[in-house]
Structure 1
């Protein structure tokens, strides 16, 4: 495989990881640490902003309950307050040295909103992939100027990578939609 094609594949792989990360943050009916671990909270009297995963371990006790165990028990109130102020639809409850969050059932209307948001994220991902393709095609034409056979071969190779990635993105979307519709 040509170095340009390898570089394009690597860039598209990074785009795919970004898409997967974006999609994983969409809330399904199930508890998942991904729902809150990247939430940035103001702790220690407002002097420090840290992600939940930097402040505590986040675990799942059952299909609808998250449990947060702070590394420093003195900031348990700050973590609870920060999650409430984030307006993500969760009510954290302090239970001794841990915080419990019950994940509420999604309404049908909310599921449809999440599916719409997911489709928008997927479309943005496809646009990013096409942008990488466009840049790769321009690089190929510049590097192999005058060698039409080589240009055509590499363009086909890049297009094949793009087509495979678009299929993967659509599959990710189908799986997430299935998760969102599951009651």
Structure 2
């Protein structure tokens, strides 16, 4: 369940908030010598100021592939190539774009909650199987299922908390 919360947090980090953040490029994959490779494995990514991301490739020959991958991604950013580095200017977000990002954050949060509920289902199935095989009593089974539900509620609340923080971040101008 903790891994589900961490994955949801990573997904939230890929949603841009109007400030330059190198984690925006975490999901960008580049076709490099016939293999899909993460952008961060092919270039040094830095943020010199709050509105710019610099992508400096380790191999200058891959500059065009990097630029194409960034253009094709769903980030909505236009890469500027000066032969040495790729500059990404982060424009301020419009109100409509902010609302789209809030919806996307909600979708990521729901995916995290589904993952947590799947873990809960698997744990409860194990407890029921132990009860059926007479390894534990019916009362112990009920107690364990209650504990599993309480843990599930705790992790679901964590996802709700980080979603609220991200929504606040997105809606503040």
Fold shared per TM-score above 0.5: yes
Q: Tell me the secondary structure at the aligned position of residue 163 of structure 1.
A: helix
Aligned match of 2:79: 92
Superposed CA RMSD in Å reads: 1.7
Aligned match of 2:105: 118
Offset, 1:48: 4.1
Pick from 152, 155, 163 the counterpart of residue 162 of structure 1.
Answer: 152
Aligned match of 2:172: 182
Q: Tell me the secondary structure at the aligned position of residue 76 of structure 2.
A: coil
Whole-Å Cα distance in 2 between the matches of residues 49 and 135 of structure 1? 33
Offset, 1:87: 4.7
Quick check: 1:72 aligned with 2:62?
no
Offset, 1:92: 1.1
Structure 1 runs (4+) deviating above 4 angstroms are none
TM-score (norm 2): 0.89
Report matched runs for 1:1-183 at 5 Å: 12-43=1-32, 47-145=34-132, 147-183=137-173
Offset, 1:51: 1.6
The 8 Å contact of residues 29 and 103 in structure 1, kept in 2 or not, is answered as yes
Whole-Å Cα distance in 2 between the matches of residues 63 and 168 of structure 1? 28
Aligned match of 1:6: none
Aligned length: 170
Whole-Å Cα distance in 2 between the matches of residues 69 and 13 of structure 1? 34
Whole-Å Cα distance in 1 between the matches of residues 29 and 82 of structure 2? 22
Q: Deviations over 1:58-111 (max 9, x none)?
A: 111111110111111222232223212335211111235111111111100111
Which has the larger displacement, 123-132 or 154-163? 123-132
Unaligned ranges ≥5, structure 1: 1-11
TM-score (norm 1): 0.85
Whole-Å Cα distance in 1 between the matches of residues 73 and 153 of structure 2? 38
Q: Tell me the secondary structure at the aligned position of residue 144 of structure 1.
A: helix
